[in-house]
Chain A
């Protein structure tokens, strides 16, 4: 198996306390890695490190290294290209205050794509993947902020796909959407993993069970357990707290 991302001895703190403490993790190509764990255990911060969103936080202190395709993501000073390689879906839907079409084509346009035909193709493709096309195809020029929460979340996913990422990170993407749409998107993710790598933070343990190839359990900025789904959900854990969390005893 090819290692797509290698996290080496990563430590993150925002001023006082370590949010992530000397964490090591390999993510393989074309897998879905689910990360579970109670709130404040550093899951979202880990995702933010992957695409260097921490650059925008002045108080963030980071040590260690992250390799993407065996190259440090910190190699270039400019991180915009890195963010094009890694798609990010935040927990709360964000429709940018522009039309639906402009939202989905935003990333390619910012990257310098000017061809209208290509932009249209990307838009249709991404909206279909995010299971939103049928609902919005007749009103592509309305404001994205007028969409419902669930629709905006799928728009966020479409936008994250629009720059053709190699890795897609989803941070509790199903928080704002209904079960039917969640199932639709989960189907899409299963389809997408043939070509890209997916890292998924989730609070829904069943979602990790359904979707993941491997699951990692995080607590207090450390990884307690990391194994294939069969083993981890089959009770083969190294730390008893993982078992307790999966069985709903704490969290």
Chain B
């Protein structure tokens, strides 16, 4: 075999071997496209900001009154007598729903993340993860439907109240909706804790529970906070389900059994009826701008918690 080894490496000039390939034009074009495409997300995020600002601008420089917009409870955009754009009641409604739903979802979701990441068998973990994905896939309009058809009668019967479409209902729905996100981000945070931490603690005789509470909880603190924060973002931004579940009444709810409304639902319910380019229409875009800014802050801080500290 050795004798057969061909050694004429350069003696037979191969045509393709000599060809000095210049980068073909097509390759240059494609690479240009790729580089352009890379910026698409920046372009879109700026475009979103731009177009919402563009529509909201006339209102912001016109009828907008800071004190009224943020502190008045009167939202009367279609009134004949006195038009008012006060979002205070809506803000309170949004806040109530968000806080209550997070009070339910964050502790439960993080407990669930701990269980799935640290205590359950790999097989069960896979099953739960698929379940989480399915749960996350249920569209918000179906959750809204569930709120009307199932949670509504449940609340009426259980608490003996006249209406079941209220703050509590929306909070329950929102909690269920944001759970998958909280669980999966929380689990990621726990998994990001190096295995050596666990081993070191276990070598010192700590039980799994002690490892979880004394080692993992502090180590994954930022990630878990980010999970909660992203849950808040999800709850704040949710539209259809809360529109259907809150009862959509413009008032400051006295209790969790009274209906309220949220920023997102207000836009969804009223934009269709407001004449394009009118003041009401622009005011709704201003609310959209507010939502955009809130979600931006929430997301940037969550990112900071996950990434920033780690460096």
Contact = CB atoms under 8 A, between A and B. Distances in A.
B40 interface: no
Interface string A42-85: 00000000000000000000000000000000000010110010
A7 B61 CA distance: 68
B16 to A, nearest CB: 4
B38 to A, nearest CB: 15
A196 B10 contact: yes
Contacts of B20: 81
Contacts of B17: 84, 108, 111, 163-164
A84 B14 CA distance: 12
B23 A113 contact: no
Contacts of A194: 7
A128 B21 CA distance: 28
B42 interface: no
Given A81-B20, A113-B16, A164-B17, A128 B6 contact: yes
A59 to B, nearest CB: 16
Interface in A132-183: 134, 161, 163-166
Contacts, number: 52
B1 A195 contact: no
A161 to B, nearest CB: 8
A120 interface: no
A2 to B, nearest CB: 14
Nearest to A112: B16
A128 B20 CA distance: 27
A243 interface: no
Nearest to B23: A78
Contacts of B11: 195
A112 B19 contact: yes
B5 A129 contact: yes
A125 interface: yes
B22 interface: yes
29 contacts: A78-B21, A81-B20, A81-B21, A108-B14, A108-B16, A111-B16, A111-B17, A111-B21, A112-B19, A113-B14, A113-B15, A118-B14, A125-B6, A128-B4, A128-B5, A128-B6, A161-B9, A164-B10, A164-B17, A165-B9, A166-B10, A187-B2, A188-B5, A191-B5, A191-B7, A192-B9, A194-B7, A195-B10, A196-B9
Given A111-B16, A113-B14, A195-B10, 9 more contacts: A78-B21, A78-B22, A108-B16, A125-B6, A128-B5, A129-B5, A134-B1, A164-B17, A191-B7
Interface of B: 1-2, 4-11, 14-17, 19-23
